[in-house]
Amino acid sequence: MLSALLAIVLAGATALAARSAAPHWAHTAGLTVLIVAEVYLAIIVGLFLGVRGLGRRAATRASARLLALRRPAGRQLGFAFLVLALAVAAGIAVSLAFSPLTGGVTATLKEIVRDGSDESRLPTATMLTWALIVVRLVALTGTAEELLFRGALYGWLRRRCSVPATIAVTAALFALEHAYYPILVPLVLSFGVGAGWVRHRTHSILPTIAMHVSVDLSLFIAAIALSS
């Protein structure tokens, strides 16, 4: 609730300020990118404020238990990236199995990159927009979504459900969040299952954040190649 309130306030204030101070820029992709970044920032801040509101000792315990903010070992990061490779391969394989319905293998792969990145914004992006995109990809998107899905939501569900059920529900909700791009659903769902398994095995979301950022950056690099 706090994250949603922060997101509404930030987005509303930014839109009003942009339309007043820079009306031309307010009609570019830059404003959209900035507002999306602010929404992710609101999720991060809201979750941390919610935990901090429990008191210092309780907040420390909740950060470790509910948000799973624990430092992973090197072998756990290796395990996470092995799972990531398998999850990405599985998701893309499912998409390619249906590629005859989506224009063929090449067209399907291009659509995955296009819908999973800012490829459509890059040709007209200003330096400010590029900077906002990179900051969002590196620092905000993966952190916010993993804190929400593999952190708070996973921790809440795990106290009530089995591990397989918790992984399945969080993965399904994660896929639902991205369902406005149907071509991404197999990849997002397989990632959600893999990230949930890594969360269970490592008791930490830091490896899943690293996984998430790696996927986002890979799609971004591919998008640059497509738009050049």
CA 102/CA 221 separation, integer angstroms:
23
Buried/exposed 43-71: b ≥16 CB within 10 Å, e otherwise: bbbbbbebbeeeeeeebeebbeebbbbbe
pLDDT in tens, 12-26: 999 899 888 888 888
Calculate the CA 45 to chain-centre distance. Answer: 15
Tell whether the model's pLDDT for residue 64 goes beyond 80: no
Residue 90 neighbours by CB distance under 10 Å: 17
Q: What is the pLDDT of residue 30?
A: 87
CB distance 136 to 32 below 8 Å: no
Tell whether the model's pLDDT for residue 66 goes beyond 80: no
Q: Where are the domains of the chain?
A: 2-227
Calculate the CA 22 to chain-centre distance. Answer: 29
pTM for the full predicted model: 0.92
* Residue keyed to tokens 């922060």: 6
